Structure 1
Amino acid sequence: MSLTVTVTMAVIAGGCGRDDEPEPAPAPPAPSVSPGLVVLSDVDHRILTDIRYATTYNFVGRRVDGYPEPLCLLTVRAAEALRSVQDAALAVGRSLKVYDCYRPQRATDDFLNWAREPGQDTMKAEFYPRVAKAELVDRGYLGVPSAHSRGSTVDVTLVDVPPPEQHRFEPGQPLLDCTAPRTQRFADNSVDMGTGFDCFDPLSHTDSDRVGRTARENRRQLRQLMTDGGFVGYDREWWHFRLRDEPWPDTYFDLPVTRSSTD
């Protein structure tokens, strides 16, 4: 397999990967190492996957750099912890569904380059309807480095069991405001979380009191399941969780999201 290159850079506060705890300071340059990634479905095929950055249905509106395959890659430790969370979720009639897992550094760079480019606002009406694209970095919705690039962070939701059919996004279809009531948003088969995934808006803050009671309870349940399973949440994104005891707390990797990037 190909080995990775450690990425070190100054921290810019930002979502899509910042935890509620401060990011560890970047480590000094180190020899190339392998993060020991596995494909989540090989560890637990019961966990649903909906890897949005490998599709055109995301806030950029195209496949993100570094996602040639729609896979959830994680460190062994994170994948095994998530399997335990899935056991607990199934016991209460729900399943986990992941939107993003390991994210190569090149993908985070792609987000920032996109944010700096004028125009290319094709998905604004759905993912950031109340924020100007030029403000996404300053407001903390995008930034580097991302905890996802360390291999033990997931973007995740809950789905009822048996899972409802997942609606497929077709390019060119009308966009739907991610902050709208559930029946007026994109038909994700997730339970109601108050907003869609990757909704850049204060309503996505984990403890927002502006979402309905059902959504607040679903967020509470997800947070409890993940916390009990050894993960730490992020206060600005109800979907974002980092393994507390992650094996690479200060190393950022840039392997592409492919099966060939696993051991």
Structure 2
Amino acid sequence: MSGDFAFVDELVDGIRWDAKYATWDNFTGKPVAGYLVNRIVGTTALCAALRAARDAATSVGFGLLLWDGYRPQRAVDSFLRWIEQPEDGRTKPRHYPNIDRAEMVRQGYVAARSGHSRGSTVDLTLHHLATGELAAMGGTYDLMDPVSRHGAPAISPVEAANRDRLRSIMTASGFTPYDCEWWHYTLDDEPHPDTYFDFPIAGDLAVPTAVAG
């Protein structure tokens, strides 16, 4: 790795991850452009803040599981192309049961310029250290629905408490939540607030290249 980007697992001990966009288990139903290996990348500043979040989570019996970090611009572009394709119904029941694909951008679930492409945004959840089981959060990752919003009423008290716990851990570690998605957090003092990168996530990452801000 070069510059101030790194594989998160190399700088944050004890972290778990499952890079969903490198797999078939995501809202597009197939691996996404730019995700060549199942690993999470982020700025070194992101990694430092995640170490603090890991320690805070550990102190209350939880660990962190990451689903996404840095996202190449080519992946974002592929999302936009996918939205324009005819509906095939394969991922709709799980990921966007109550909206059409075309509504994803308008409702704030997909953007032409994603904070992930700046390298200091992360999608994550909590797991119980004692069992390894994921904490109940009231909805799966990338569920594009009002139930995914912070403060959504249609979840159980346990699920609401777990969302609040994650939010408390992340905000205390220097992150800002995204209102529409309980799993999405951006570093407050991100090092590249106006730069969007497009290098692929691969085993041997190239020098980071940027696209227009």
* Common fold by TM > 0.5: yes
For 1:118 and 1:135, locate their aligned partners in 2 and report how far apart those are by CA, in whole Å. 13
Structure 1, unmatched stretches of 5+, are 2-33, 165-188
1:194 aligns with 2:194: no
1:42 aligns with 2:46: no
Question: How many Å apart are 1:134 and its aligned residue?
Answer: 2.5
| Residue identity opposite 1:237 in structure 2 | E
Instruction: Please report the TM-score for the alignment, with normalisation by the length of structure 2.
Output: 0.93
Which of these residues, 195, 207, 221, is aligned with residue 165 of structure 2? Answer: 221
Which of these residues, 38, 59, 64, is aligned with residue 27 of structure 2? Answer: 59
Report how many aligned residue pairs link the two structures.
Answer: 207
For 1:262 and 1:212, locate their aligned partners in 2 and report how far apart those are by CA, in whole Å. 45
CA contact (8 A) 1:37 1:261 kept: no
Instruction: Please report the TM-score for the alignment, with normalisation by the length of structure 1.
Output: 0.76
Question: How many Å apart are 1:207 and its aligned residue?
Answer: 1.3
Residue 107 (structure 1) aligns with:
75
- Relative to its length, the structure with more strand (as a share) is 2
Residue 181 (structure 1) aligns with:
none
CA displacement 1:213-248 (0-9 Å, x = unmatched): 111110100000000000000010000000000000
1:142 aligns with 2:86: no
Question: How many Å apart are 1:80 and its aligned residue?
Answer: 1.0
CA displacement 1:159-182 (0-9 Å, x = unmatched): 001343xxxxxxxxxxxxxxxxxx
Q: Which has the higher contact order (CA 8 A, sep 6+)?
A: 1
Residue 93 (structure 1) aligns with:
61
Cα gap change, 1:162 to 1:121, in 2 (>3 Å)? same
Quote the RMSD (CA, aligned, Å).
Answer: 1.5
1:121 aligns with 2:89: yes
Residue 84 (structure 1) aligns with:
52
Structure 2, unmatched stretches of 5+, are 208-213
Residue 230 (structure 1) aligns with:
174
Question: How many Å apart are 1:259 and its aligned residue?
Answer: 3.5
| Residue identity opposite 1:54 in structure 2 | A
Residue 196 (structure 2) aligns with:
252
Residue 211 (structure 2) aligns with:
none
| Residue identity opposite 1:216 in structure 2 | A
| Residue identity opposite 2:6 in structure 1 | V
**What percentage of aligned pairs have identical amino acids?**
41
Question: How many Å apart are 1:64 and its aligned residue?
Answer: 0.5
For 1:46 and 1:262, locate their aligned partners in 2 and report how far apart those are by CA, in whole Å. 26
Question: How many Å apart are 1:136 and its aligned residue?
Answer: 1.8
Runs of 4+ in 1 over 3 A off after TM superposition: none
Q: Which one has a bigger Cα radius of gyration? A: 1
Residue 158 (structure 1) aligns with:
126
For 2:108 and 2:66, locate their aligned partners in 1 and report how far apart those are by CA, in whole Å. 22
CA contact (8 A) 2:69 2:122 kept: yes
